[in-house]
Amino acid sequence: MKPRSYSDELGRSLVRFFQDYLPTLRGMSRHTIHSYRDTLLLLLRFLSAKRHCGIERLDLAAITAESVGQFLASLERDRHNGIATRNARLAAIHTFARFLATERPEHLAASQAILGIPFKRGARSAPIEYLEQDEVEALLNAIDRTTATGRRDYALFSLMFNTGARVQEVLDLRLCDLRLQRPCQVRLPGKGNKVRTCPIWPQTARLLRRLVDERQHPLDVTEELFVNSRGEKLTRFGVHYLLRKHLIAAEAVVPTLREKRIHPHSLRHTTALSLLKAGVDFATISQWLGHASLDTTMRYARADIDMKRQALLQVFPDILTTAPTDRRTFERLPIIDWLKRL
């Protein structure tokens, strides 16, 4: 009888972890499962490069507390990830280690050592990065809409600005989730398997209609809305690349973009702050964005300096008198493929 290889053991463990443990036993949402998948993909690629071998030759013995620690250090050093991202990756690896502790008792000691890796303290809330109106216009105007891919990108980012949807929510949209007649709206699959309906502008509906009409027919209503040139579903990494490309072009028009670290989630922040500036109440914004808690929405109240200035003007400024000021003084102030398809 042929002995079982460790690589087969790793592959079977990954399949059971993603197909049975996370969705069935833990009841995790598709978005969380995708996040865990991305973490383990990064870990396997790191171990593959470290051992100078293909991912298919890795075994469970390669996943140790030492190698995980080196991976976490690499995230901060090489990928420039913040503490919050590092801790999120570690949380996914901890979950996999707990699974292995029960699924593969022979690896119990290694799993316990991994679970002993602590989360890093000192993660501070980074300032919320978002786009001002002129920056949004510059980004959209930088997209070449004379090409099919340009029209797709324009529709993609317009929809993200319109709805404030998470990037994965937009990428998961199917043709059957669209209502392009009045009242125009889209159905968004959110976190925790929750579905919400979000209104869209007629202009956005026209962009989506043209996008659908340019696709090869006949189309199945269950097909994804946003696909690449090969007809495959766009990925989050693909959206990040497209956003970065168009932002570089927009920086020549609006230099303030060079000072910001804009990522796809920044478009969601932009929508939230635009709603807040327009006077929309927190409860409505929370429902609009699909937040599980109103506390999550409240952080936007601390993000925008313009709103702080407006609030300051409303706090009895007239009681303060201004002393005569010398003008001169004033002027001086200063399994890899399977995981990808999961």
Q: Which candidate, 140, 149, 264, 166, places its Cα nearest to that of 211?
A: 149
**Do 292 and 191 meet the contact criterion of CB atoms below 8 Å apart?**
yes
Q: Is residue 329 part of a domain?
A: no
The DSSP-derived string for 239-251 is HHHHHHHHHHHHH
Q: Please determine, for residue 160, whether its predicted confidence score (pLDDT) is greater than 90.
A: yes
Q: Which candidate, 114, 112, 6, places its Cα nearest to that of 70?
A: 114
Kindly report the pTM of this predicted structure.
0.60
On whether both 236 and 300 belong to a single domain, the answer is: yes
Q: Please determine, for residue 76, whether its predicted confidence score (pLDDT) is greater than 60.
A: yes
Sorting pLDDT into bands at 50, 70 and 90, what band is 5?
Answer: very low
Sorting pLDDT into bands at 50, 70 and 90, what band is 335?
Answer: low
CATH number at residue 17: 1.10.150
Average pLDDT, the chain: 84
On whether both 105 and 155 belong to a single domain, the answer is: no
| Structural domain boundaries enclosing 19 | 6-115
CATH number at residue 237: 1.10.443.10
Name the one residue in this structure whose structure tokens are 């973009």: 257
Residue-wise pLDDT for 211-234, tens only, equals 999 987 777 889 999 999 888 999
On whether both 60 and 191 belong to a single domain, the answer is: no
Alpha-carbon gap, residue 62 to 225, rounded angstroms: 39
Q: Is residue 336 part of a domain?
A: no
Residue 124: predicted pLDDT: 55
On whether both 93 and 141 belong to a single domain, the answer is: no
Q: Is residue 328 part of a domain?
A: no
Q: Is residue 318 part of a domain?
A: no
Q: Is residue 321 part of a domain?
A: no
Sorting pLDDT into bands at 50, 70 and 90, what band is 125?
Answer: low
On whether both 90 and 157 belong to a single domain, the answer is: no
Sorting pLDDT into bands at 50, 70 and 90, what band is 120?
Answer: confident
Residue-wise pLDDT for 247-283, tens only, equals 999 999 999 999 898 999 999 999 988 888 877 877 8
On whether both 175 and 245 belong to a single domain, the answer is: yes
CB atoms within 10 A of CB 318: 5
Q: Is residue 337 part of a domain?
A: no
Q: How many domains does the chain have?
A: 2
**Do 73 and 59 meet the contact criterion of CB atoms below 8 Å apart?**
no
Name the one residue in this structure whose structure tokens are 């659908």: 212
Q: Please determine, for residue 166, whether its predicted confidence score (pLDDT) is greater than 80.
A: yes
Average pLDDT over residues 307-320: 47
Q: Is residue 28 part of a domain?
A: yes
Q: Please determine, for residue 192, whether its predicted confidence score (pLDDT) is greater than 80.
A: no
> Rounded to 5 degrees, what angle do the CA atoms 176, 177, 179 make?
90
Q: Does residue 292 or residue 38 have the better pLDDT? A: 38
Measure CA 20 to chain center. 25
List for the chain the helix, strand, coil content (%; round to 5): 65, 5, 30
Query: 155-164, 217-226, 291-300: which has the highest mean pLDDT?
Result: 155-164
Q: Please determine, for residue 180, whether its predicted confidence score (pLDDT) is greater than 60.
A: yes
User: Active-site residue numbers?
Assistant: 166, 191, 265, 268, 291, 300
On whether both 154 and 244 belong to a single domain, the answer is: yes
On whether both 79 and 183 belong to a single domain, the answer is: no
**Do 224 and 233 meet the contact criterion of CB atoms below 8 Å apart?**
yes
On whether both 37 and 169 belong to a single domain, the answer is: no
Alpha-carbon gap, residue 250 to 96, rounded angstroms: 41
323 token code pair? 């002393």
Q: Is residue 297 part of a domain?
A: yes
Average pLDDT over residues 44-48: 94
Residue-wise pLDDT for 66-75, tens only, equals 999 999 999 9
Q: Which of 115, 142, 177 is the last residue of a domain?
A: 115
**Do 174 and 222 meet the contact criterion of CB atoms below 8 Å apart?**
yes
Sorting pLDDT into bands at 50, 70 and 90, what band is 83?
Answer: confident
